[in-house]
């Protein structure tokens, strides 16, 4: 609502730009929309957070007094900061993968590991919180993790073998990720039921057959 108020007319847009000029090198307006859906929520929130003090200053004008109750409170800004922290790894990996000009297949498992680890960390931090917005954020991240798990479980055996092979062939990774999985589950990497052993054997069998 406040973003609409600020950008509704050319005069209001100029007022908002003017109140920034003495404090920042490049004055900007709130983001109302983006060209694509990728990372749009994060970009909108980051711009809004960046402009929060200018928004407050602009709304001090008595002619906007009816809108003062709509200004975001400090507690609400805290929620915005947490939401941005949750979303940033998604943007990082989206941009990182999309900007590569070489093969990225060997990075797929690492990306999934990082995303699952990030969401698990957020859920652990909020698991026992009783504040409503923290419970809501926990539920949102839980749903987010379930959606990512759905994508991950849809990997076919053939595709999965390609991912594992590419991961093991990467000299910077090899079996390290799988040993980390075993360690996290308190499994001996040398045990025949471990990820390390099973994937290593599957890899050797796959290579020998090829």
pLDDT of residue 158: 74
* pLDDT at residue number 31: 84
Q: What whole-number distance in Å separates Cα of residue 198 and Cα of residue 202? A: 6
| Residue labelled with tokens 């000299």 | 171
The CA distance from 62 to 183, in Å, is 62
Q: What is the pLDDT of residue 92?
A: 92
Predicted confidence at residue 140, as pLDDT, reads 94
* Tens place of pLDDT per residue across the chain (210 aa): 778 878 888 888 888 888 888 788 888 888 877 666 667 888 889 999 999 988 888 888 888 888 888 888 899 999 999 999 999 999 999 889 888 888 888 898 889 989 999 999 999 999 999 999 999 999 999 999 999 988 888 776 778 888 888 889 888 888 988 998 888 889 998 998 898 998 898 888 877 776
Locate the domains of the chain by residue range. Answer: 2-72, 75-209
Report yes or no: 6 and 58 within 8 Å, Cβ to Cβ. yes
pLDDT score of 84: 94
- Residue 78 has what pLDDT? 93
C-alpha distance across the termini of the chain, in Å: 61
HEC-encoded secondary structure of the chain: CHHHHHHCCHHHHHHHHHHHCCCCCCCCCCCCCCCCCCCHHHHHHHHHHHCHHHHHHHHCCHHHHHHHHHCCCHHHHHHHHHHHHHHHHHHHHHHHHHCCCCCCHHHHHHHHHHHHHHHHHHHHHHCCCCCHHHHHHHHHHHHHHHHHHHHHHCCCHHHHHHHHHHHHHCCCCCCHHHHHHHHHCCCCCCCCCCHHHHHHHHHHHHHHHC
pLDDT at 114: 92
Residue 104 and residue 97 in contact, taking contact as beta carbons nearer than 8 Å: yes
Cβ contact 29:7 at 8 Å: yes
């Amino acid at each position: 609502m406040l973003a609409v108020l600020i950008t509704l007319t050319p005069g209001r847009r100029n007022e908002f730009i003017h109140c920034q000029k003495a404090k920042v090198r490049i004055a900007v307006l709130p983001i109302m929309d983006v060209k694509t859906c990728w990372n749009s929520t994060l970009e909108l929130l980051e711009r809004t957070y960046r402009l929060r003090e200018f928004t407050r200053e602009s709304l001090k004008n008595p002619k906007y007094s009816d809108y003062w109750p709509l200004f975001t409170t400090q507690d609400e800004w805290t929620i915005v900061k947490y939401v941005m922290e949750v979303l940033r790894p998604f943007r990082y990996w989206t941009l990182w993968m999309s900007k590569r000009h070489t093969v990225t297949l060997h990075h797929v498992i690492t990306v999934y590991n990082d995303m699952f680890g990030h969401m698990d960390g957020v859920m652990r931090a909020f698991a026992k919180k009783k504040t409503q917005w923290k419970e809501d954020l926990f539920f949102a991240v839980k749903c987010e993790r379930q959606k990512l798990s759905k994508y991950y479980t849809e990997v076919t055996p053939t595709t999965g073998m390609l991912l594992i092979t590419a991961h093991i062939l990467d000299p910077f990774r090899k079996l390290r990720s799988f040993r980390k999985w075993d360690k996290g589950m308190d499994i001996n990497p040398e045990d025949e039921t471990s990820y390390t052993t099973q994937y290593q054997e599957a890899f050797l069998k796959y290579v020998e057959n090829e």
